[in-house]
Amino acid sequence: MAYLYVVESADMVFLKNQTELTWGNLSSHISKLEEAGYVNVEKRFKGKKPQTLLHLSEKGRNAFTEYRKKLTQVLGKISQRKI
């Protein structure tokens, strides 16, 4: 999600390289994100080769922003307790 959040769109090859996941693992992650409506998957041909292009949906972008906010709050509380 973080990788798709910082770019406009990316294909599966790019995501696999960046995340260092296996094809199967990456596919299953993407399928779940697509089912949740967080990721839009576009299948097309680049020349004669198939290409799967992915980008975060508006819903996905908002969900990720919300997740980061909550995580920040949690981490903030933990660090305050430590002090």
Partner 1 sequence: MVDIDKEVLDLKSIEKKVYRSFFEDGFWDIFIGMLLLGFGLGWTRIIFDIMEPLYILIISIIWTTITFLIYYLGKKFITLPRIGTVKFGQKRKARQKKLKIFLLINVLFGCIVFILTFFGLLEFLALAGSLTPLLIGLISYTFPFTIVAYFLDFNRLYIYALMGGFTFFISDIIYSILGSPLDSIIGFGVPGGIIVVVGLIFFIKFLRKYPKPKKD
Contact residues toward partner 1 (CB under 8 A) are 2-3, 5-18, 23, 46, 49-53, 68-69, 71-72, 75-76
Query: Minimum distance from CB of 3 to partner 1 (Å)?
Result: 7
Interacting residues of 61 by C-beta distance below 8 A, sequence separation 6+: 5
> Is 36 strand, coil or helix?
coil
Residue with smaller CB distance to partner 1, 36 or 71: 71
Beta bridge partners of residue 43, listed in sequence order: 52
Query: Minimum distance from CB of 35 to partner 1 (Å)?
Result: 20
